[in-house]
Amino acid sequence: MKRSTLLKRAAGLLLVAATVWYLADTIGAHWGELRAFDWRPDPVLLAASVVAHVLVLSWGVWVWGRVLRHFEHPPVRLGMLQRIWFLSNLARYVPGKVFQFIAVAQLSRGAGLSGPVLITSMLVATGMSLLSAVVVAAWTLAGQMVPGVDPLWVGIVATTGAALAVHPGFLNRLIALIPRLLGKDVIRWNAGWGDGLVLLGLSVVSWGFYGVAYHLFVASLADVPWRLLPQMAGVNALSFFIGYASPLPGGAGLREISMTGLLTPHFSGGVAAVLSIAVRLWTIAAELIGGSAAALLVRGGPGVDGPSSADPAGAVPVPQQP
């Protein structure tokens, strides 16, 4: 086994141990508060939050489809994109995010689609989602995260930076690196700056919808007023952004730790830790439900509305894990 692989696994194990220790220590230190806390489980709100979460994920796939339109690829049915996204997303829980892209490549090939183009468009959509998460967090949590600085300026700076990042000149420079990893010809982003800004705006709307689902879930367990909806949306967006940097499956570890810290202004540390763990289970449930529905409702076969440009013969190369 290569030394680099051993180091990565060791780092992953250390992060798992640190995460477990932090959450367990936080819960143990606040055990009395946890027992005394006024938990208010509400099955109706819980069910509504799961349904809302699945719908939010489906909306995100629709946004991905809008991104795909700006690449040289025949239009793909939304149902087929839903199937590819939900099923490949489950592969995130195999150690290493590269497994999700392997799943996209294989599912795309089975549907007669271009794996490299779909992988590239998914990376662009993911990048826009992460940018918009920062924008949402900047406008909703700046006062909490950056004390002493005018929150308005934090929001303006974050929004300006995100807007510049979707400029086609900048995006195409980044996208030009992907074909080298895939061993394919150049894949270009055929969209204007205005198109990128619209897609970025749709990604911000996604986090707004996601914030509602997240608030419903927290409210199904604890008393949280609706006036805190913007802050809850920011907590969810920023913890997702931080968790995406985690080498563990599905962003585990960093997401829970960051969410615990971001929730502490509203809940005690122990309650915040329990909620962050519960959110992970809620997310897995929504992804499993969405994936099951996509697998049952949408079958394999040609997924394009017209002739496919994919080469169904042979395996589709996938990006190597950095």
User: Residue 316 domain-assigned?
Assistant: no
Containing structural domain, residue 243: 51-297
Q: Does the pLDDT of residue 242 top 70, yes or no?
A: yes
User: Residue 283 domain-assigned?
Assistant: yes
Q: Does the pLDDT of residue 281 top 80, yes or no?
A: yes
Tens digit of each residue's pLDDT (9 = 90 or more) over 190-213: 999 999 999 999 999 999 999 999
User: Residue 184 domain-assigned?
Assistant: yes
pLDDT for res 248: 64
Element (H, E) at 21: helix 3-29
Cα separation of 184 and 5, whole Å? 26
User: Residue 149 domain-assigned?
Assistant: yes
Backbone torsions φ then ψ of 251, nearest 5 degrees? 75, 20
- Provide the 10 A C-beta neighbour count for residue 38: 6
Q: How many domains does the chain have?
A: 1
Band (233; pLDDT cuts 50, 70, 90) = very high
Cα separation of 90 and 94, whole Å? 8
Mean pLDDT, the chain, as a whole number?
Answer: 83
User: Residue 171 domain-assigned?
Assistant: yes
pLDDT for res 111: 75
Cα separation of 111 and 105, whole Å? 10
Highest mean pLDDT among 146-150, 185-189, 256-260: 256-260
Lowest mean pLDDT among 9-18, 220-229, 273-282, 294-303: 294-303
User: Residue 164 domain-assigned?
Assistant: yes
**Helices and strands in the chain, H and E counts:** 13, 0
Mean pLDDT along residues 205-226: 96
Mean pLDDT along residues 255-262: 92
Q: Read off the tokens for 243.
A: 């968790």
φ/ψ region of 251 (left if φ > 0, alpha if ψ in -120 to 50, else beta) reads left
Of the candidates 304, 320, 293, which has an alpha carbon nearest to the alpha carbon of residue 87?
Answer: 293
Share of the chain above pLDDT 90, in %: 46
User: Residue 31 domain-assigned?
Assistant: no
User: Residue 321 domain-assigned?
Assistant: no
The more confidently predicted of residues 304 and 8 is 8
List, in sequence order, every residue forming a beta bridge with 76; answer none if it has no partner.
Answer: 304
pLDDT for res 285: 93
Local structure of 76: helix, strand or coil: strand
Its sign, for the CA torsion 248, 251, 254, 255, is negative
pLDDT for res 322: 33
Cα separation of 178 and 182, whole Å? 6
